[in-house]
């Protein structure tokens, strides 16, 4: 039994280690969004790939929701003192990873190979972490005031405060390794990540949707639990981004509205028990609603493992 998890940074970093424990690491491949990638100080930064690799290696800063635990920011501070841009906070050890990835890419390796090498050095055991695309494929935004921003400029620099008019997802080719993993999979899980800028950015890549439709069991996990907003300010920023992104797409930050984006692609949609009132609307979409506990990754991973093998 092989399972592929499609995911963004936060949702992927939380769920992937639990899923690896339940399924067995060899049986899991994680395809990470690359729409959040940016060029920073001449280096290629891949936040979602890195969050997932750090989490699988036990290095992820879960409280902050990105980067490594115990980071220092001396390079950022020194750059800032020199007058360099400093709105994107890259930690010192994280900087080292971006330097090494950029060196591997400059030496002719593709992002799939560079990611594999780095994950192995970080101590990721057996789980394959695969970029959704090898090409640079950033998500772009048209703001309501007409300005154009790349993902991180809007998300971090403005803290997702400016309303969006349009979201432009890259149509570059999906990576050969991601397509191959889907080809060999018995189940695919669309993770609890932003349905447009994380999962949608993966689905928009050429070849991806067709590869997913060929997998026997296709499951999505809802990224939202209604009425349980987190007290964590970092997460509020994340939730605001999701609301503005869905608004720009004419949708709502609710389970049934998110499930509607996946019609024709998935058979089952896992949502939190407390949102059971949404289940009939999901069933009317032709998708089977499955209730679980979305705030407990262990419980969720066990439920997903059952669904993947049923
Ligand atoms: N998120 C922030 O809110 N502020 C930051 O300064 C920031 C820096 C950063 C550096 C490296 C990295 O891998 C991620 C970083 N993130 C930061 C997180 C990132 O913007 C988002 O969490 C993801 O792109 C969303 O999935």
Quick one: which of 221, 288, 266 has its CA closest to 14? 221
CA 156 to ligand 1 center in whole angstroms: 7
What are the residue ranges spanned by the domains of the chain? Answer: 3-38+48-59+125-309
More confident residue, 217 or 231: 217
Tens of pLDDT, residues 165-198: 999 999 999 999 999 999 999 999 999 999 999 9
Whether the model pTM is above 0.95:
yes
DSSP 172: P
Tens of pLDDT, residues 237-261: 888 999 999 999 999 999 999 999 9
Tens of pLDDT, residues 42-80: 999 999 999 999 999 999 999 999 999 999 999 999 999
User: What atom in ligand 1 is closest to the CA of residue 241?
Assistant: 25
Ligand 1 pocket, residue 136 CB under 6 Å = no
Ligand 1 pocket, residue 190 CB under 6 Å = no
DSSP 202-269: HHTSBTHHHHHHTSSEEEEE-S--TT---S-HHHHHHHHHHHHHHHHTT--SSHHHHHHTTTTT-SEE
User: What atom in ligand 1 is closest to the CA of residue 94?
Assistant: 11
Asked if residue 254 lies in contact with residue 291, where contact means CB atoms within 8 angstroms, the answer is no
Q: Which fold has domain 3-38+48-59+125-309?
A: Rossmann fold (3.40.50)
Asked if residue 238 lies in contact with residue 10, where contact means CB atoms within 8 angstroms, the answer is yes
């Amino acid at each position: 039994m092989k399972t592929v998890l499609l995911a963004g940074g936060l949702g992927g970093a939380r769920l992937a280690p639990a899923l690896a424990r339940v399924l067995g690491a060899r049986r899991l491949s994680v395809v990470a969004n690359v729409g959040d990638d940016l060029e920073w100080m001449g280096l290629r930064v891949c936040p979602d790939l890195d969050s997932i690799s750090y989490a699988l290696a036990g290095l992820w800063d879960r409280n902050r929701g990105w980067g490594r635990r115990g980071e220092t920011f001396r390079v950022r501070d020194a750059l800032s003192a020199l007058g360099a841009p400093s709105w994107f906070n890259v930690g010192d050890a994280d900087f080292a990873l971006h330097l090494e990835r950029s060196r591997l890419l400059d030496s002719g390796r593709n992002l799939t190979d560079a990611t594999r090498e780095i994950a192995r050095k970080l101590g990721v055991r057996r789980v394959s972490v695969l970029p959704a695309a090898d090409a640079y494929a950033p998500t772009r935004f048209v703001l309501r005031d007409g300005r154009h921003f790349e993902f991180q400029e809007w998300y971090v620099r403005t803290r997702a405060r400016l309303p969006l008019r349009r979201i432009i997802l890259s149509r570059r080719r999906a990576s050969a390794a991601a397509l191959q993993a889907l080809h060999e999979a018995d189940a695919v899980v669309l993770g609890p990540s932003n349905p447009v800028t994380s999962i949608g950015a993966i689905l928009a890549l050429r070849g991806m949707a067709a590869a997913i439709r060929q997998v026997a069991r296709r499951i999505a996990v809802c990224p939202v639990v209604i009425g349980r907003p987190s007290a964590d300010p970092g997460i509020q920023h994340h939730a605001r981004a999701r609301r503005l992104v869905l608004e720009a797409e004419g949708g709502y930050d609710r389970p049934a509205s998110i499930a509607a984006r996946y019609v024709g692609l998935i058979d089952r949609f896992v949502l939190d028990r407390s949102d059971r009132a949404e289940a009939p609307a999901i069933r009317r979409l032709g998708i089977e609603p499955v209730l679980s506990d979305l705030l407990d990754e262990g419980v969720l991973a066990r439920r997903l493992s059952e669904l993947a093998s049923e």
